[in-house]
Every structure is written in C-alpha cells, then in structure tokens.
A and B are shown apart, each in its own frame.
Chain A
Amino acid sequence: MKTKLSLKFKARDAFVIAAALLIAAAVFLLTLPKANDGRLYAEISRNGEVLASLPLDADAEYIVNGDYENVVTIADGSAFFSSATCPNGDCVHAGRLTKAGQLAVCLPNGVTLRIVGAEAGVDAIAG
C-alpha cells in the first residue's frame, strides 16, 4: 500500500485546486447578503444568543462581558470592535463593518458582530 506521491506538480492537482475554488465560490454565493436599502442593524451575539440589535445610524457603545470583554462601537454608519481584552484581538483587526452580511467574530469570547438588514425576512419572502 506504499503509494508514492509525485514531487512535481501534476495535471490532476488542478482538479483539487478547482474543487477548492468551486467550494469557495459555492459558499460565497450561498452566504451572499441580500440586497437591502432599509435600515441596517448591528446584531451582537454570544454563543448563538442574540444580545443586542443596534441601528447603525445611531452612535452607540455596547460592552460584551464573558471570558473576556469586547467593546462594540457604532459610529458613522459602521459597527466595529473598538477594543477587546482577548489575547489576539482579531476582532479589532477585522475593522469597520458597514454592509449587510459583514461579520466580525471574537472566537475566544464566542462573540459575533453581524450587520443585518432590518427587513431581511420580508425581503427573503418577497425576493
């Protein structure tokens, strides 16, 4: 059963790459946010439970407690993690979110910040 792999790129490797890109494209299309011109909301959840849903057009600050502390700031029509006490701070590096479907997460604290359209449910039915 000792099969040897070629050390040089083979034509069939392109199939693996194509499969990876196909999966990427399929998931991209599936998770594509629905067009929405209504009000946008920043939905803050921790471990699957929605903690708050704040409109993007009103400046606000929300603090998520847990294993660590994340500060979500809403300013100038964008929502972002402005600071966090978790070790890597990936959520802060994720930057400002402005469009429906955009997402920033803090894995150590289990927090997700997602932009959702107010009437996403209605749009899904109408569309």
Chain B
Amino acid sequence: MRNGVKKLTVCGLMTALCLILGYIEHLLPLTLLIPLPGIKLGLSSIALLVLLLTYGPAYAYGVTALKCTLSALLFGSVTSLAFSLTGGLLAMTAMWLLTVAFGGKLSVFGVSVAGAVLHNVGQLAAASVFMSSAAVFSYLPLLALAGTVTGLATAAVTSRVLHLTGYDKE
C-alpha cells in the first residue's frame, strides 16, 4: 500500500516535471535557432525514460498520455494534442520494445535516440494525415539528424539521473 502511494506521488511529480520542462521549451523554442517545424530538445523524455526504466511501461504510458493531454490544454490546441500523442506514444513504444528486446545489449543512449527519432516520425505521420499530403516527410532527414543529437543529449542527463537513483546498483 505504501509502495502504491509512493508510485502515485512519483507519477504526479513526473507529470508536473514534464509540463515544466515542456513549458521551458515553449519559452525558448529551438525553432528560433533552427527554423524547422517540430524540432525540439525533448527535455520531458528524460523524465519519461527514467519512469519507463524504474516503474515500467504502464506508468510510463500513463504519464506520457497525461503530459500530452495537459500540455495541449495549457499551451496548445486539438491539433497539437494529436501531434504530441502520436509522437509521444510511438516514441514510448519504441523505447519500451527496445528495452525489452535488447535491454542487455543497448544503453540508455541507443534507446533515447530511437525514441527521439520515432517521436519525429510520429509527428510527421500525424501532420501528413492532418494535411492529407506526404510532402511534410521531406522534413524527416533533418529532423532525424536533430533527433539523434538531442536524443544523445537527453540520454546523457537520463544516465546521470538514473545513476543518482541507484538504478545501476541493485
């Protein structure tokens, strides 16, 4: 029971953390430096990957869906909800499946890069459905490059956070 309360509290905190990280990115968008729609640091993926690896997929999917819904209510619109849900859920699925299938062979770096790139793929897929045109996929090469870089950067932070929680000790 106490464990359940702890998990609930941590999930609430993680959701709040995701929203704050998303808000910081909203205030200082990477699109000002690199004018490419959909490009972003993906800071909230740090919290989501930590949650996936410590509490498992059920909690991680729950917080992903909450984060997408709440941030669309706070800063976005119905369209941005569709984009972030497709991107977020596809990224989480990629990270989860890679962890289950290749957990012993990969590190957080590979998993994080896959999540970042699949997040972009999901958003472009949603955008192409929304605009009934596959033309937006011509953004994928640059977005995938950017996703590789930001995926590695957020993995470095994730790795440090997990080390501090003692994830690599037990």
Chain A residues close to B by CB (< 8 Å): 1, 3-10, 12-13, 15-17, 20-21, 23-25, 27-28, 31, 45, 47-49, 88, 90-91, 93-95, 101, 103, 105, 107-108, 110, 112, 114
State whether A3 touches B99 (Cβ < 8 A). Answer: yes
State whether A21 touches B144 (Cβ < 8 A). Answer: yes
State whether B79 touches A107 (Cβ < 8 A). Answer: yes
Indicate whether A10 sits within 8 Å of B105 (C-beta atoms), given known contacts A5-B99, A107-B127. yes
- Interface stretch, picked from B11-19, B62-70, B106-114, is B106-114
Indicate whether A17 sits within 8 Å of B110 (C-beta atoms), given known contacts A103-B139, A105-B136, A107-B37. yes
Interfacial chain B residues near A24, Cβ < 8 Å: 140-142, 144-145
B148 within 8 A of A: yes
State whether B141 touches A27 (Cβ < 8 A). Answer: yes
Question: Which size bracket describes the interface of B in this complex?
Answer: 35 or more
Least Cβ–Cβ distance between A97 and chain B, in angstroms? 12
Q: Which residue of B106, B127, B140, B167 is within 8 Å of A12 (Cβ)?
A: B106
B85 within 8 A of A: no
Interfacial chain A residues near B147, Cβ < 8 Å: 20
Interfacial chain A residues near B77, Cβ < 8 Å: 108
State whether A12 touches B110 (Cβ < 8 A). Answer: yes
B104 within 8 A of A: yes
Can you list 7 A-B pairs with a CB-CB distance of less than 8 A?
A3-B100, A5-B53, A5-B111, A6-B107, A12-B106, A20-B148, A112-B131
